[in-house]
Amino acid sequence: MKTIKNWQFIKDHNHRIDVVCEYGFQLHIFVLESDIFRVAFTQDNEFKVPHSWAITPNQSDVDWQGRDKWSLEGFSCPDYNIKQTEKTLEISTALLKVTLHQPLYLEWEYKQDGEWKPLFTDRKTGAYLMGISNTEVSHYLQRDIKEHYYGLGEKTGNLNRHGRRFEMRNLDAMGYNAEYTDPLYKHIPFYITHSSDVSYGLYYDNLASCWFDLGNEIDNYHAYYRSYKSEDGNLDYYVILGPKILDVTKKYCRLTGGTIFGPKWSLGYSGSTMHYTDASDAQEQLKKFVDLCDEHDIPCDSFQLSSGYTSINGKRYVFNWNYDKVPTPKDMTKHFHDAGMKLAANIKPCLLQDHPHYQEVEKLGLFIKDSESDTPERSMFWDDEGSHLDFTNMDTVNWWKTNVKQQLLDYGIDSTWNDNNEFEVWDNYAKCHYFGKGMPIKLLRPLQPLLMMKSSYEAQLEHAPNKRPYLISRSGSPGMNRYVQTWSGDNRTNWNTLRYNIKMGLGMTLSGLYNVGHDVGGFSGNKPDPELFVRWVQNGVMHPRFTIHSWNDDKTVNEPWMYPQVTNIIRDAIQLRYTLMPYLYNLLWKAHHDNEPMLRPTFLDHEHDINTFEENDDYLFGEDLFVASVVEPNQRKRDVYLPQNFAGWYDFYTYKWFNGGEKITVDAPLEKIPLFLRAGSIIPMARKGHKNTLSDDYRELLIVPFINQGERNITIFDDDGESFDYLQGQYLKLDIHLKCTAHTIELMLEKSGHYVPQYTEIHFCFPKNEKREFVINGKLADRNYKMSLLN
């Protein structure tokens, strides 16, 4: 490794400033937005991987062969100034400034109230280390011990990553410890730095395995530092100015393509277990699940077929129906559809060496190749060795899409569950096709799952062009948010997992992965006891993805009715989710349309309240619903700190009002977890007791008023929940201005769009002790007022 010290300004052209450095390296600074710069190093003006699949600032999809790394398309490319002295080069926009110093380190500033203020600085005693005899690259920055670091996607432990070291290397970490295990499934090299004055993000656009040291390492010869190190690829990073944490997350999400707008049923309860499809009578077991949901009055929208439906002698073979277990797949899918449930099928990107179609696929040249020969690479996969499909080969993509359509979608399967797609090919120089140009796997590993899900996405879209695809993926990299819903992998059943999965989900959210959840009840290990199962379900229904999934050591199944003594509590929790489904769907719309996170750490909307930065087990589901999960056994009371705001909070169950900025002790009986609503909100709700999202035929708006005075604008969206017709005006949007005075609660409501839902009127309701007059669109209305949607 050599430290890059000396540099010389070469030229400024087209929002790119080029600097020549030592050892054949060039430094390029791209001025993309007034608040987003990019810093990239090349050798001989070439990137090792010349394309990016993460960056798409216009929030469109990325071409199969990626986006040219020199491209500025989609960025506003604002005006900027350059100032050069003997030892510095200063580049500034209206909001962000970077100064190159000699010897090389970068100093960043941001403008606030007309003044330039410090943002961050590279380590002055060696910032950029490049491999000369090897392929490694490193970036070192100064570290302030008061800073908080958030993000890095799916990581264990506390939400604030300061003081830890993390590795990005996609790995199937079944049964991981949610507090300590690293690495895990996803490659998200992005994190947010927060200080008391400002926040900013750093995204390293490199697909090679890498490490982030955020204060675990110290060195006597340097001041406190933090670092990024990659085993290969280019040092290529984006600086994203907030100034708030929420701003950084939204800008990064937008930069990587935004959030897919999945169908409404994707937010419903999704049943799943390894046990059913591993059973010799899998079709009967699966049909029983439908019947038991009806028997126990459990709302359900879908079921996820684990890979046992593809088995031969206990091993799993993608796109292979085991007709002994599932004699008539179309009859099975019809049984689910008749009950209003969809089916997602598990698919894997590796063919075991005795797969019925292995020889055919090998002859077609669709596998990643061994580094030393032209034969397929061989890696351990489940119970045998197998070869991984190469999704940088368009022939592989087309083969995959054909099989998704013919072997799944034509049978009535509604969704693809892209699983075991970490591509654990540890021959680092195994050869990928890379669209005819060739590239070793070590430079591309996380790209393979991304292109796998893109293949599945396009297959579903081609099969049903007007249906919004719903996909699931376990592994991936930045940009996966454009295609899939994801989860925190194969967690282990215990109370500690419940607690730290909350933080893991919030970390993924801050990293632009909004549509997330966990295997409720725990996937591996012992089955949960009744109390743990209840608390996990109560937490799970307050996540975008809600799936009870398991592979318990004792072969039992985590099901809503697994413990008769608590089935009524489980039922109530799931029915509560369905009552709140209109609110959840509105959050998904806002995530897609406005880049608003669905899960939100309490500090995300309350940075002014320093207490919200203390590690805790609470979060917001949307801006208005505060969730205080119970994550300890035998806990029947809970201390809750309600974030400080001028409006206060209402208890969800009793409508008792509490002032913000206070710690309170609340009851937490086994039957419920503490929930609170922000004063000044409007919560769209469905009728309790409907079977699934398809049977939603009632709508009410719960007006949660300001306790005294206040105003707020709120938008509520709805459509058919499945098609793209909303793009042609087939939607229902309510733009509401809420104004509360000492004597009135006033709504100015404007309706737009041409969609008429199953419910044809909207009911309004209020906290039971609310006595102020209700005025809607300037007219006094009684408490039983219903607004018709047919006018």
Phi, psi angles (nearest 5°) of residue 369? -100, 150
Per-residue pLDDT tens over the stretch 157-174: 999 999 999 999 999 999
Q: What is the pLDDT of residue 322?
A: 97
pTM of the predicted model as reported, rounded to 2 decimal places? 0.98
Reported as a single tens digit per residue, the pLDDT across 628-681 is 999 999 999 999 999 999 899 999 999 999 999 999 999 999 999 999 999 999
- The backbone region for 401, taken as left when phi is positive above 0, alpha when psi lies in -120 to 50, beta otherwise, is alpha
The answer, yes or no, to whether residue 297 has pLDDT greater than 90, is yes
pLDDT at 791 over 80: no
Mean pLDDT on 90-108: 98
Q: Is the pLDDT of residue 133 over 90?
A: no
Q: What is the tens place of the pLDDT at every residue in 56-80?
A: 998 899 999 999 999 999 999 999 9
pLDDT of the residue at 179: 98
- Confidence at residue 383, expressed as pLDDT on a 0 to 100 scale: 84
For residue range 166-220, list pLDDT tens digits in order.
999 999 999 999 999 999 999 999 999 999 999 999 999 999 999 999 999 999 9
| pLDDT for 112 beyond 90 | yes
* pLDDT for residue 688 is more than 80: yes
User: How far is the C-alpha of 276 from the C-alpha of 59, rounded, in Å?
Assistant: 39
Please check whether residue 616 is in contact with residue 628, taking contact to mean a CB–CB distance below 8 angstroms.
no
The single-letter code of the amino acid at 143 is R
pLDDT at 414 over 80: yes
Q: Are 80 and 92 in contact (CB under 8 A)?
A: yes
| pLDDT of 396 | 98
Q: For the residues 601-628, what does the mean pLDDT come to?
A: 98
Contact 521, 496 (CB under 8 A): no
> What pLDDT, on the 0 to 100 scale, is given for residue 650?
98
Arithmetic mean of pLDDT, 552-563: 94
What radius of gyration, in Å, describes the C-alpha atoms of the chain? Answer: 27
pLDDT in tens, 266-285: 999 999 999 999 999 999 99
Q: Which two tokens stand for residue 104?
A: 């090389």
E strand spans, 66-209: 67-68, 81-84, 88-92, 96-101, 105-112, 115-121, 128-130, 137-142, 148-151, 165-168, 190-194, 199-204
Closest CA to 194 of 151, 255, 252: 151
- Whole-number percent of the chain with pLDDT over 70: 100
Is residue 582 within 8 Å of residue 686, measured between CB atoms? yes
Q: What is the mean pLDDT of residues 598-625?
A: 98
Q: Over the stretch 440-492, which tens digit does the pLDDT of each residue have?
A: 999 999 999 999 999 999 999 999 999 999 999 999 999 999 999 999 999 99
* CA–CA dist 386, 409 (Å, integer): 25
Number of H-type helices and E-type strands within the chain = 11, 53
CA 231 vs. chain centroid, Å, equals 26
| Lowest-pLDDT choice from 136-140, 300-304, 353-357, 689-693 | 689-693
- Other CB atoms within 10 A of residue 296 CB: 16
Q: Which of 268, 110, 70, 583 is nearest to 99 (CA)?
A: 110
Residue 690's pLDDT band, with cuts at 50, 70 and 90, is confident
pLDDT on residue 693: 94
CA–CA gap between residue 261 and residue 239 (Å, rounded):
27
| Cβ atoms within 10 Å of 633's Cβ, excluding its own | 10
293 pLDDT more than 80: yes
What span, in angstroms and rounded, lies between the C-alpha atoms of 347 and 106?
Answer: 46
pLDDT band at 610 (very low <50, low <70, confident <90, very high): very high
Residue 235 · residue 128 · CB < 8 Å: yes
Question: Left, alpha or beta for 416 (phi > 0: left; psi -120 to 50: alpha)?
Answer: beta
Q: What percent of the chain has pLDDT over 90?
A: 97
3-state secondary structure of 503: helix
The mean pLDDT value of the chain amounts to 97
Q: Does residue 96 contact residue 34 with C-beta atoms inside 8 Å?
A: yes
Instruction: Determine which helix (DSSP H) or strand (DSSP E) holds 751, and give its type and residue range.
Output: strand 744-752
120: nearest Cα among 249, 241, 245, 7: 241
User: Is the pLDDT confidence value at 503 over 80?
Assistant: yes
Q: Which domains does the chain have, with CATH numbers?
A: 2-51+75-256 (2.60.40.1760), 302-483 (3.20.20.80), 599-678 (2.60.40.1180), 684-788 (2.60.40.1180)
Q: Taking Cα atoms as reference points, which of 544, 549, 562 lies closest to residue 486?
A: 544
* Token duo for residue 347: 């698919």
Q: What is the pLDDT of residue 59?
A: 85
The phi-psi region of residue 205 (left if phi > 0; otherwise alpha if psi is between -120 and 50; otherwise beta) is beta
